[in-house]
Amino acid sequence: MNILDNFNIFEQGDKKETVVTIGNFDGIHIGHKKLITITEKYALDKNLKSVVITFNPHPLEIVKNKSPFFYIFSEEEKDMEIKKENIDYFIKYPFTKDFSNVSPEDFVNILIEKLNCKILIVGEDYCFGRNRTGNVNVLKKICKEKGIKVIKISNIVVDGERVSSSIIRECLNNRNIKKANLLLNKPYYIFGKVVEGNKLGRTIGFPTANIIPPKNKLLPPDGVYITKTRYNNRIYDSITNIGKNPTVNNTDRTIETYIFDFNQNLYNQNIQVYFYDWIRGVKKFSSIKELKEQISKDISVAFRFFKTK
C-alpha cells in the first residue's frame, strides 16, 4: 500500500484506472469497512487500482471550527488499521478552507485528472464540495456526464441508528465500551510509548505501564477499565486506569496499565491497550492499603470477565 498526502498517484508510475471511495474514516468502523471492502472487490473484479481518500485534519475542524477535534484513532492508528486492508493507495489529503470551497464539478475533475477514476463508491448520505452542495444525486449527475460510475452504498443501522463515528464517540464518552467495540468491529485501543511514571504501582505490588496518548486522541472518561495489552506480538490480560490518581494527589491525567503475569521492562517500548468494559470510576482512597485492596477487586472483576469470553 502507498500512503500519500496528495492526489498525484501518476508520479508513482501508476496510470491505471481506479476505483475510489471517500470518507473521514475515523475509527474505520463497520460502515467504513463496508465501503473499503466493496472498493477492494471492484478493483479486483475490474482490474483497477483501489484508492481510499480521507482528509487531515477532519473537515469539521475547518468548516465548523471544532478545534481541538478529538479522534477515535490517531493518524498513526488509522494507518495501522488501513494497512490491514488490500488497498493500493491511501490518500490523506490536507483539508483547508480553500479546499472546502471547491465546487462539486471541480472536485469530480480532480478525481478524473489526478486519479483516472472510473468507479466512485460513496455512502448514501455523502456530501462534498462548497457548502456540502454535492450530495449523491448531484454526484451521479456530474459523474454520468464524465463517464464515471457512481455506486451508492446503504448505511449500516444498529439498534435503529446509522453507524457513524459520532455515535461511537458518544459511546466512548458514556463509557459504553461494549457498544463502541460492536460498531468498530474491534476493540477501541490506545497505541503509545511507555514512559516512566511515579512508580507507586511497583512499590505496592502492581507495577504499571504508563503511556502518553497521541495528541487529540479521544479518551474514555476517567476510571478503571478491563483491557488487554499487546506487546511484542503477544496479548496479555490487563486493567487500565485513566485519571489523576487522587489518592497520591497526582494532578496530571495519566494512562496506567497493570498487565497480568508480566514482568518485562517496557520503558520506551510501544504497546497497544485494547478496551473491553468499564469497571468503576476514579476514587480517592483513605490509605494505600485500601487502594491495594480495591486494585485486587478490580483484577478479580477482569478475571471473571475474561473467563466468560
Question: The cell 464515471 sits on which residue?
Answer: 148
How many Å separate Cα 45 from the centre of its chain?
29
Amino acid letter for position 264: Q
> In this predicted structure, what is the pLDDT of residue 71?
94
Q: What is the mean pLDDT of residues 137-159?
A: 93
* Residue in 44, 55, 49, 43 with CA at minimum distance from that of residue 5: 55
- Taking each helix axis from N to C end, the angle separating 136-145 and 104-115, rounded to the nearest 10 degrees, works out to 50
Cβ 185 vs Cβ 191: under 8 Å:
no
The pLDDT of 85-97, averaged and rounded, is 93
The whole-number average pLDDT for the span 268-297 is 91
Q: Mean pLDDT, to the nearest integer, of 214-238?
A: 95
Residue 230 region by backbone torsions, left for phi larger than 0, else alpha for psi between -120 and 50, else beta: beta
Q: Identify the CATH number of the domain defined by range 187-307.
A: 2.40.30.30
Q: By the 8 A CB rule, do 256 and 200 touch? A: no
- Give the pLDDT confidence score for residue 188 in this predicted structure: 98
**What is residue 203's predicted lDDT score, i.e. its pLDDT?**
66
Distance CA 12, CA 3 (A): 11
Q: Poorest-confidence range of 8-17, 74-83, 197-206?
A: 197-206
**What average pLDDT does this structure show over 179-205?**
86
The answer to whether residues 248 and 308 touch, using CB atoms and an 8 Å cutoff, is: no
d(CA 273, CA 214): 13
pLDDT at position 60, please? 83
The pLDDT of residue 13: 67
Say what the pLDDT of residue 103 is.
87
Per-residue pLDDT for 213 more than 90? Answer: no
The reply to whether 2-157 and 187-307 are identical in fold is no
- Return the domain boundaries, the chain: 2-157, 187-307
- The helix (run of H) or strand (run of E) holding residue 270 is strand 270-280
Residue 56 three-state SS: strand
- pLDDT, one tens digit per residue, over 9-53 is 877 666 789 999 999 999 999 999 999 999 999 999 999 999 999
Task: Tell me the CATH number of domain 2-157, given options 3.40.50.300, 3.30.565.10, 3.30.1360.200, 3.40.50.620.
Answer: 3.40.50.620
Let me know: does 256 contact 229? Beta carbons within 8 Å: no
Mean pLDDT taken over the chain: 90
Identity of the amino acid at 132: R
Residue 102: pLDDT band with limits 50, 70, 90: confident
H-helix segments, the chain? 30-46, 59-63, 75-82, 97-100, 104-115, 136-145, 165-173, 177-184, 200-203, 288-307
pLDDT band at 206 (very low <50, low <70, confident <90, very high): confident
Q: How far is CA 64 from the centre of its chain?
A: 21
pLDDT of 251 strictly over 70: no
Residue 93 or residue 201, greater confidence = 93
Instruction: Over range 139-149, report the average pLDDT.
Output: 92
pLDDT at residue 158 greater than cutoff 90: yes
- pLDDT for the residue numbered 192: 94
Threshold 0.75, pTM exceeds: yes
Res 66 pLDDT > 80: no
When pLDDT is cut at 50, 70 and 90, the band that residue 245 belongs to is: low
Rg of the chain on CA atoms, in Å: 22
Q: How confident is the model at residue 190, as a pLDDT?
A: 96
Band (pLDDT 50/70/90 cuts) for residue 199 is low
